[in-house]
Chains A and B, each alone.
Chain A
Amino acid sequence: MKDQFDMDKIPAEQFEFAQLDQKIHDQKFETKPIGYFKDAWMRFRKNKGSIVGTLIILAIVLYAIIVPFISNYDLTYSDGTYKKLKPKVEWLSFISMFDGGYDQKINDKYLAYYMAMAIGTEDVNDEGMSYNEVKDSEYNPIMELGEETKSGNTTYRDARLDSYMAVGFKYMSVTQEKYAEIAAWQEETGIQVVYPLIDNTNEYCAEQNNANFWYKSIKSNPVDENDKKLSMDDIRENGLVDNYLRDENGELVFSQVSDKSMVKIRVLYYNYYQFVNGFEPVHYLGTDGQGYDIFVRLAYGLRLSLILAVAVSAINLIFGSIWGAIEGYYGGLVDLIGERISDILSGIPFIVLATLITLHLVNTGKISQFTALIFCYVLTGWISTAYNVRTQFYRFKNQEYILAARTLGARDRRLMFKHIFPNSLGTIITSSVLVIPSVIFTESVLSYLGIINFQGKTMTSLGTLLSNGQSYLSTDPHIILFPALMISLLMISFNLFGNGLRDAFNPSLRGAED
């Protein structure tokens, strides 16, 4: 065996480089690689439901962002007179919901009362205008008049009244300067604000403080000059007899000095509103029981609820991932302690937790309601994220590729976040998206039950809007309807979106639909 080639002693010059001038590498893929996210996106795109959900979410978010900038109103705006106004959108006014009107069954007295608003506005100098002449006036509160029904001696009519106009006239007490301002504004725009005062001392005045009884009446039934009761047809044909305050010369009186600097005037509120705000009152979704604009408040409520939900979701995501990673990677005692802590935290009913934290920290003024709520959600919310991450770590930490990476010298942190953590990314993203609707939902429940409180001039939430509307459910359902619709829409769209994500991040569904 002597002549056998001695492998250990090969002279150096016998070696030669195989390829010094070319690099060795694998052949490049001819096709484009499809990464995890691209794959997920391809599956997500196919799901019609989740695309619809995404679009709705985008629309809602845009609404929440844009509306406060373009609206005439803001969060603090409220008008004590224009309470419970109905939704009014010009281009949607063919739908009875958005014409700003409401239905009411009215008897003769009330019919005369509303007719008088129209006559009194158009016929300032008392030329004896009939209702038929002013019927089409924009100040006429009666939009439609239905059939008559008789019940006993009283005749009722189904009427549709314009909630903006049906407020009618109002007494105001203003300063001299303000009165001069109003007068100047009237001159400038030609819109009459101040109307003649009523003689509310005589027996013909139906109600002292109601500025709408400008006509002569006995027991709030309109009468003519000879105190004879006017019939409905008379009013339609000949109008009403006024009961205005007149001075010695028989001239109409428009203002009365009530004390040192104040002047009492009688204004048509719709026009007075334009004087104060500079625009005509239009509330797209109406106003609530305190005269807040629902359209803009809904946007602010959405902002708060969405910011809260996204903040909670983000904190849960970060904290839960780190905790879950540590728990799952190291296992043993850390895991055991972590599990017991999460057992206890998840055992406390959320409503009890929120109550206790609110009572202890918010009502004593230590932290704001918003912070407290985030704290509550995060205290229990990270558990499920941590659980998900932990499960993934248990599955992957003993696999060969981790061993390989460790052999190559990767440190713990690199192993945890570079090699294992991305495996759980899909589940985590899905669950943190699904956290958003559940946060919005529980917030609305807690606000509704009065456990937490976002009431106030500076902030509002969807749940607060709901609970404000509850007492007007039977009379003014629009106050509660729009927040309720918005929450439902959010729930549906986020669930669609979340379900789409869940399917998209599940690679085992690849090609299942094809």
Chain B
Amino acid sequence: MQTLKYIIKRLALMMVVFLIIMTICFTLIRLLEPEVSPGVAGQLELQLREARGYNEPILVQYGIYLKNIFTEWDWGTSWEIDYGQSVGSVISSRLLPTVLLNIFSLIVSIPIGIGLGIFAALKKNKWQDNFISTVVMIFISVPSYVYAFLLQYWLGFKLGLFPIVLSSLYDAGNSWFSSTMLNSMVLPVMALSFGTIASLTRFTRAELTESLTSEYMLLARTKGLTKGQATLRHALKNAMVPILPAIISLFINIMSGAMIIEQIFAVNGIGQLYLKSIGLLDYDVFMATSMFYTIISLGGTIIVDLSYGFLDPRIRMGAK
């Protein structure tokens, strides 16, 4: 009961923060004036702005905007990127490549990262562990776009193993899972995965070494379990508890940090949509993508906080 109350409280608080951010963003975005070119085209654009209601007072515009969202879930219309399309459909068509890349990257990273982490923890302070820790240190620090450049240059350009940019949906036969598409996804997924693998390895290693040295392990060994049994049934099980929240926050990190990878590999995803909407000043798309990233960052923290409580009953949420 207390948990439910806590969740509701957190969600309500998040909604308030979200609305405030939305108001700030809306005002700042609608205040932007486009560069109107002189001549007939500029006149036409001014008239279009008038017709689309951009010249109303900001408060009136915001009222209409909120009303449309709450009554019809209508986030506006894209006038520049996809002419006349509703923002909802524009975003949902861009969401898939972004999410797919992230999921693939997680599918690759989780087993490798956790595996390496366990290996390093079991070999603690031996050369294997030192080697893995050094490599992990380097891979966590080096920015993902540097991998992207190196991969593009070596695997894509020099060796010609994979395409340098993501294939377009049309070339891939209108399927996200055709072999052309999957082949072209290899490089971006790799670029996204290196950092994730490294941070998962470090995290797993830290958690597992902690549980390996704790007292219940000693108890388990005293009871007569072999080292393998004790590790598998006690240490590993306990070490895995904080890893799930870590994976969730990794997913959120990739989601919001993949913009540069999308740019490098020409992925037509949310990040590209955001950048395009800034350049073309597509108000509603700009607003909606900004809100998308806001929800991800706000929601992410809450999910991570809550998941600790669900996974470990000793953490009583909301307790002072």
**Whole-angstrom CA separation of A15 from B32 in the bound complex:** 87
Given contacts A349-B293, A491-B142, A492-B142, contact A359 B25 (CB under 8 A): no
Tell me the minimal C-beta distance from B267 to chain A in angstroms: 13
CB-CB < 8 A to A445: which residues of B? 143, 145, 259-260
Q: Are A356 and B29 in contact (CB under 8 A)?
A: yes
A62: Cβ under 8 A from any B Cβ: no
Tell me the minimal C-beta distance from B221 to chain A in angstroms: 23
A388: Cβ under 8 A from any B Cβ: no
Q: Are B137 and A448 in contact (CB under 8 A)?
A: no
Given contacts A470-B264, A495-B140, contact A348 B153 (CB under 8 A): no
A487: Cβ under 8 A from any B Cβ: yes
Given contacts A344-B17, A360-B28, A449-B260, contact A492 B138 (CB under 8 A): yes
B4: Cβ under 8 A from any A Cβ: no
Q: Are B294 and A347 in contact (CB under 8 A)?
A: yes
B290: Cβ under 8 A from any A Cβ: yes
Given contacts A495-B140, A495-B141, contact A359 B149 (CB under 8 A): no
CB-CB < 8 A to A495: which residues of B? 137, 140-141
A484: Cβ under 8 A from any B Cβ: yes
**Whole-angstrom CA separation of A491 from B198 in the bound complex:** 15
Residue of A nearest to B140 (CB): A495
**Whole-angstrom CA separation of A503 from B97 in the bound complex:** 41
Q: Are B32 and A488 in contact (CB under 8 A)?
A: no
Q: Are A344 and B31 in contact (CB under 8 A)?
A: no
CB-CB < 8 A to A348: which residues of B? 21, 24-25, 294
A-B contact count (CB 8 A): 94
A352: Cβ under 8 A from any B Cβ: yes
Instruction: Give the size range of B's interface with the partner.
Output: 35 or more
Residue of B nearest to A364 (CB): B33
CB-CB < 8 A to A355: which residues of B? 278
Given contacts A344-B20, A349-B293, contact A488 B141 (CB under 8 A): yes
For A349, give its contact among B13, B18, B145, B290 (CB under 8 Å). Answer: B290
Q: Are A344 and B21 in contact (CB under 8 A)?
A: yes
Kindly supply a per-residue 1/0 record for chain B positions 254-278, scoring 1 wherever the CB is within 8 Å of any chain A CB and 0 otherwise. Answer: 0010011001100000000011001
Interface of B is mostly: helix
Q: Are A473 and B20 in contact (CB under 8 A)?
A: no
**Whole-angstrom CA separation of A347 from B274 in the bound complex:** 18
Of listed B24, B29, B143, B153, residue having the most chain A CB within 10 A: B143
A343: Cβ under 8 A from any B Cβ: yes
Given contacts A347-B21, A351-B259, A449-B263, contact A360 B294 (CB under 8 A): no
CB-CB < 8 A to A444: which residues of B? 143, 145
Q: Which residues in window 93-138 of B have CB below 8 A to A?
A: 137-138
A451: Cβ under 8 A from any B Cβ: yes
Q: Are B260 and A347 in contact (CB under 8 A)?
A: no
Q: Are A480 and B143 in contact (CB under 8 A)?
A: no
Given contacts A348-B294, A349-B293, A495-B140, contact A487 B146 (CB under 8 A): yes
CB-CB < 8 A to B260: which residues of A? 445, 448-449
Q: Are B297 and A484 in contact (CB under 8 A)?
A: no
For B278, give its contact among A49, A340, A359, A477 (CB under 8 Å). Answer: A359
A474: Cβ under 8 A from any B Cβ: yes
**Whole-angstrom CA separation of A474 from B32 in the bound complex:** 38
List the 4 closest pairs (A to B, CB-CB), nearest first. Answer: A491-B141, A349-B293, A492-B141, A488-B142
Q: Could you give 17 example pairs across A and B, Cβ below 8 Å?
A: A343-B17, A344-B17, A347-B298, A349-B294, A351-B259, A352-B290, A360-B31, A437-B141, A445-B145, A445-B260, A451-B275, A480-B149, A484-B145, A484-B149, A488-B141, A488-B142, A491-B143
